[in-house]
């Protein structure tokens, strides 16, 4: 079964029909409610807060944020942004009958950044949205550039000491690493929590913290029921230092590939590498 993000851009995939189908599905409502509740647990908000809902869709998560009990730190105020006009139209229709779903909505592409003033939000959540950033549907954009703009904008929009939780479904390990690396490069303290690891129902939560020496996020999840902390940062750091110690000759294939990766992370479009990349050419007369 193909993934939605591999078929069409989100603004085209979630048309009027798909938006209504998604919102009316009792299965999707249950899954969305479960993941939003998990994200709220990881945010650990003690008081009513202003929360940015990234990829808010039809407002299913926003309604849960607004209906959080006072004993659990709520109710929260939420602002949602999504690239699908059909999803936002469905959210407005739901708001007419459900006051909890009545949040401020913004039609915007998160791959172009987060268009809010610095320090606007106490927290942020995203449910099943950021994996869409890994698909560049035009030749003049790149996944690395979209991720960089998103995380840089999110970092700026959050208050110092704030937290963000992004649930996502990476296609593979490389996509997971690309998303996490982009978050760290933007300045976040980051870690990944896995629910139901090793099963087809595995759910990943990227837990992000802003400033305040928040590089180690294990304190966020330590003590949660059914959570095992696996900290391999020291091993990764040692591997990076060993790799850096090996000299890379300028003009070699490895040097060229590294330069291309650096340009991609800056959002520039580069030609794909091939078996001819870095190969010496015969002299011509």
Instruction: Walk along the chain (285 residues) and give the pLDDT tens digit of each residue.
Output: 578 888 888 888 899 999 999 999 999 999 999 999 999 999 999 999 999 999 999 999 999 999 999 999 989 999 999 999 999 999 998 887 776 567 899 999 999 999 999 999 999 999 999 999 988 777 667 899 999 999 999 999 999 999 999 999 998 889 999 999 999 999 999 889 988 887 778 899 999 999 754 445 555 555 555 555 555 444 455 555 555 545 678 888 888 888 888 887 777 778 888 888 888 777 665
Gap between the Cα atoms of 101 and 87, Å rounded: 13
Q: Kind of pairing, strands 50-54 and 77-82?
A: parallel
pLDDT at 176: 92
Q: Are 132 and 169 in contact (CB under 8 A)?
A: no
Nearest to 15 by CA among 91, 85, 83: 85
| Helix 143-157 vs helix 173-185: crossing angle, to nearest 10 | 40
pLDDT at 240: 55
Residues in CB range of 265: below 8 A, 6 or more apart: 144, 145, 148, 182, 185
pTM of structure: 0.75
Nearest to 5 by CA among 143, 131, 167: 131
Cα 183 versus chain centre, distance: 8
* Dihedral (CA of 267, 129, 105, 19) sign: positive
- Omega into 135 within 30° of 0, i.e. cis? no
Gap between the Cα atoms of 23 and 18, Å rounded: 8
């Amino acid at each position: 079964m193909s993934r939605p993000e591999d078929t069409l851009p989100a603004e085209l995939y979630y048309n009027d029909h798909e938006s209504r189908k998604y919102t009316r599905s009792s299965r999707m409502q249950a899954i969305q409610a479960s993941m939003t509740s998990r994200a709220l647990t990881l945010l650990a908000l003690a008081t009513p807060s202003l929360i940015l809902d990234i990829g808010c869709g039809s407002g299913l998560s926003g309604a849960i944020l607004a209906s959080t009990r006072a004993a659990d730190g709520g109710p929260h105020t939420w602002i949602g942004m999504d690239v699908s006009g059909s999803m936002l139209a469905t959210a407005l229709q739901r708001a007419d009958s459900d006051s909890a779903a009545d949040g401020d909505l913004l039609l915007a592409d998160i791959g172009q950044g987060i268009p809010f003033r610095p320090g606007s939000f106490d927290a942020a959540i995203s449910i099943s949205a950021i994996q869409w950033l890994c698909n560049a549907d035009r030749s003049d954009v790149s996944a690395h550039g979209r991720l960089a703009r998103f995380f840089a904008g999110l970092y700026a929009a959050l208050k110092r000491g704030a937290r963000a939780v992004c649930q996502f479904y990476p296609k593979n390990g490389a996509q997971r690493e690309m998303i996490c690396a982009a978050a760290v490069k933007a300045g976040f303290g980051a870690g990944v929590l896995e629910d139901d690891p090793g099963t087809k129902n595995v759910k990943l939560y990227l837990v992000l913290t802003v400033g305040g020496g928040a590089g180690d996020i294990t304190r966020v999840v330590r003590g949660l029921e059914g959570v095992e902390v696996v900290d391999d940062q020291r091993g990764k750091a040692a591997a990076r230092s060993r790799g850096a110690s090996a000299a890379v000759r300028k003009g070699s294939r490895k040097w060229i590939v590294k330069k291309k990766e650096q340009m991609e992370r800056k959002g520039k479009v580069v030609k794909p590498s091939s078996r001819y990349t870095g190969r010496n050419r015969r002299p011509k007369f």
